[in-house]
Chains A and B, each alone.
Chain A
Amino acid sequence: MALPPLNDTIAAIATAPGVGAVGIVRLSGPDSYDVAGRIFLPKRRQHINQLPAGRVVYGSIQKENAIIDEALLLTFRAPHSYTAQDVIELQTHGGPAVLRTVLELCINKGARLAKPGEFTLRAYLSGRLDLVQAESVLELVNAQSDSARRSAALGLSKALSKELDLIQSDITAVYGNIQAALDYPDEGVPAAQFSEPLNRVLKRIDGLLHTTKAGTIAKRGARLALIGRPNAGKSSLLNALLGYRRSIVSDIPGTTRDYLEAPLSIEGVPVTAIDTAGIRDTDDLIEASGVTAAKDIAENADLSLLLLDKSLALKREDQELISTLELGRTLFIASKSDLAPVWTKDDVPVELIHVSAKTGAGLTLLKEKIRERLIGDVSQSELWISNERHIQALSLSKEHLERALTAPDDLAALDLEEALRTLAEITGRGEIAEETLEHIFSNFCVGK
């Protein structure tokens, strides 16, 4: 496996895992400022890449024009930084889900996920650490990469190893076939049929990537948004889920001013519940923007609970929310089911869960549904991918495979080789040339 290059831009979560008060995502490398500029919107609209060293800028992390979180951006300029490269630190509110999103954004916008100890390695190689420190740093780097390897090995369940094995063998078969035809052009090697087997491999990879969300959620926690009109019972439900009083609950609409985050565990799944400000029709807030705000919040959550007050008539906002929220990521809750209902399930086109925060009726069912939606059917399967590195390797090999589908034979072969090399980072099956030759000579009758 190749060592990473030293001159590209890397990103990683710099704070310890778990929920802390502040979480930091750190970028290092020549494009740090550019990457940060693509995801961080400064309150005072400064140009990030023109900032000098030593600045602290207030603003927000943006994803497709939606705000993920408020954040502080700290600037360091080469060579006066930990790694002696341009460095940016993004400090956000600590939730693991937020940090994960920020990291993903950095990677989508041009940074590479740092390998274990890579920041320290860069710091070391740039001479930022002295020789005495060097030894201990080295041990640390080695310990990290070795333990990462061990945990990577342990992190692969039997079923997952088997699945990856199949993927790798299928690619090797296609690659071997193409190469056999290229290296023995006259010897009657049948033309490689690659679209069918590669599409099959792509499906397998998609299947694995599909589990990544569940895997990550199981490990790091999910964001659960509580949405609904003011006084629909969001805070009461949160308290009921928590088992203690957290939000200030009253009958006056809009009591929850901004939003509250509460960590809790639902059926063993770590969840950060976000109790949003109520969506309501006020004089200065047109209806549409209320719905838009709810949509934005739901967009950034892994799952949303839309609360519909069973004891009050449905309003147009309710109907609009029902039709705009993504069905797959929303649970629809008929709240206050202990009170006399004024509408029935036939009034809404979605499946409802009846819950009373007051009596606790329906809570167990709700928790089960939340768990099912968050980690769903894959929770029973061993085919879980939750390691960022594995996710990246799978996505990357998927890109190579997709490129191979449309390329001429020799270039397709190069893409397949690259896909195999990428997968080898997860599986350790790295002797690609040898395996391919073995495949060629055991499957094709070639040679003089």
Chain B
Amino acid sequence: MPMMTEIDYGTPPSASTRQVSLTIDGMEVSVPEGTSIMRAAAVAGVGVPKLCATDSMDAFGSCRLCLVQVEGRRGFPASCTTPVEAGMKVSTQNDKLADLRRGVMELYISDHPLDCLTCAANGDCELQDMAGAVGLREVRYGYEGDNHLGMAKDPSNPYFTFDPAKCIVCSRCVRACDEIQGTLALTIDGRGFASKVSAGQTADSFMESECVSCGACVQACPTASLMENTVIKAGTPDREVTTTCAYCGVGCSFNAEIRGSEVVRMTPNKDGHANHGHSCVKGRFAWGYATHADRITKPMIRQKITDPWQEVSWDEAIGYAASEFKRLQSTYGRDSVGAISSSRCTNEETYLMQKLVRAAFGNNNIDTCARVCHSPTGYGLKQTMGESAGTQDFDSVRQTDVVFVIGANPTDGHPVFASHMKQRLREGARLIVADPRQIDLVRSPHIEADYHLKLRPGTNVALLTALAHVIVTEGLVAEEFVTSRCEVPSFEHWREFVARPEHSPEATADITGVPAAEIRGAARLYATGGNAAIYYGLGVTEHSQGSTAVIGIANLAMATGNIGREGVGVNPLRGQNNVQGSCDMGSFPHEFPGYRHVLDNAVRGSFEAEWGVTLDAEPGLRIPNMFDQAIAGAFKGLYLEGEDIAQSDPDTQHVTASLQAMECIVVQDIFLNETAKFAHVFLPGSSFLEKNGTFTNAERRISPVRKVMEPLGGKEDWEVTVALSNALGYPMHYKHPSEIMDEIARLTPTFAGVSYEKIDRMGSIQWPCNAEAPDGTPVMHEAVFVRGKGRFLPTEYIATEERVNGKYPLILTTGRILSQYNVGAQTRRTANVDWHEEDRLEIHPHDAEERGIREGEWVGIVSRAGETTLRATITERVQPGVVYTTFHHPESGANVITTDNSDWATNCPEYKVTAVQVMPVFGTSEWQQRFHQFSDQQLQLLQQRVPAKAAATTR
């Protein structure tokens, strides 16, 4: 249950536009038709007592506390389930109603432990409040009768405890799991007095059940029956700060609830525009990493990576880093240094990083981790529609009739949006999934995909072109839209291209592995099923043809007219919290903020005028270029913030060889991550709870990140970059991140109307936000495309060079899991490891049997890049010939196997297709042995670090 500072209207709002007027306790009220009496009363400022009702879920009508009297009607209807009618005269309070309510409360309280003073919900309990509201003064039934007070607690979930003794069986938790989360893990087991909340009928505990620990049940519970363990331990919070989650690209708004300087819990913000009060196991519960013992809070330096670290002052660390970068540039040239920022950074931080590189380093060697995830999205959507961003807001899905998910696993990667999508699917929207694996969305409670196009990894482009072939050859093109909104010659060329017989589903079935009839059915459904929206993820972008596939998606949407209104669109699901923002902020080596090329003299001139420095007019190095140049001896110094390339980037051995070839690596992070083990300077970073800034989520929504506690290392991350820039000789003078945003707004047309004042006032803003759209832009390309007319481009399928053969007969594809996040640096330092303590290799039973592999046994996975070992999970989720793993644990070495293949346009790595062989093994791989040896050595060097005073004396 959240702190009770938000008004709970009891039932959800009605979407009706027709108003109905009635009288409640003598007051005239006008509300939309379909509104409940309870909600109408709340709108009028009258609180009707309630227990089973809450405005995040449909009315249930079980507690009988909210009874009211309606003039001219018999009985006492429940106000939550009774809709308003014109002219109704409602009384919410009189002697009879008071008697009835007291009677109900007496029954509840007669079977409830009277331990309020020692209860974790004391002062924050709806049952307690209702006892007061109804004037309960006695319980005539006594407490000696049959009751549930002796029922055992279920402490199995690491984040919350279920205490059935405190349960009033209001079903709010069950309904939250059903209606909000859509997992349907909970039920009311038994009947009558034996009724009890149960986590599934076959599971003994929450942890053994299908519960995904999203926290919706805990949020909904009106008592302490489902209670966060942190509140049980620390007590109830006394203040809250609204901020934005630092995990995935959904960008949920949370209230950080605090006691003193300690975060007690994170509760999803009901007014959050991206999440509407919902959460997942990561954002809701997995924030303990922020104060984990592994946090490094003092700056450190060392000359060689075989030296122990020396703790130094901030000034000394910054001064040392700056002097090293200057030395390298003077010795090896201006372009011998660069920086990599992260999507885990705020907009303001990534903006400063690229500014430091361009203005202080004097080159354009800035890149960001979007290089390895969604850079093809930026390229493909810019080429076709004119802007490097998704077209919709998340709420658009409520108007969608056909959901097409390709190369994304929303229930694991973007769980809160997945819940909203599932709500729409349960309402009847149709579903197409294109994925090599059977992701959970294909078949889940009350949802079944109309089509699961189980394609071979690496064949997205062939599939998308085959879908287009059907649309074009069966006359399903939205001709009027295409004629009026798109470049007709480009469309005509594209139409001719996709209509060729070699692009038909029948001709490409051998490539994709998908039966032609399924592709034809899916294409017809997408083109004719009403509002159709495409949602895609890294399963589209992380291929050698990632950009071509994005273009193929845009082609489909334009050809069917599914662009420019609610319910449709092209929606890239961004992996990390600020992928969109880091790209917006000019983190690519060829683009200034707002996706404007460094070759553009006018744009470059505007930055030169504002920054007071001459800027380089040539594109800089991309991340893989930096690695190649390092190994060639020409790239010597790297400044990284929040990014762990030694774990996250492909072909690990190539990455670590390049790191070892550099002379100065500066890592700014909250932990000694894998990359920091190769570093010479460590600058303590600040967690999202320790700084101010903004994140921009997958729907272009700029949301506030607000400081909840002081930075453990003494500086917010933006302050560190400012200090480094000053030491490099390029002064920066910001006093607060709001001033950085003001500068961004001055220089970036799509951000011209953005300010902290507006974000505070509106809660969040979707860019473009400028004079034409002062309140932001939920849906893009409404009247015209950003580039004017939509542009079709041909999408020739070119098979990846990474092909199976006798030596490497299987295709490895990689992905994520719900409980872990990216390289796991955060989630591995939380109880989320209880769900996923190791990365496993999924293999089809047929492939496993052929190789003599048994469940849970160690297997070696070998590619042309390297070898590692994992334990096997035998499952039919993957198709024969395909194996799958996650990359959340560094020792797994998933990226030791992935290769240097990359997208033709952006060099986004081809994580999703690696030819491998898998065989049973008895020991770890040679790489893993070296990894452990090196990692242990580095942790020893960290433990042996020389404290600041001693270090100063030594030097």
Chains A and B belong together in one complex:
no
Hey, which bits of chain B sit against chain A, CB under 8 A?
Answer: none
Hey, which bits of chain A sit against chain B, CB under 8 A?
Answer: none
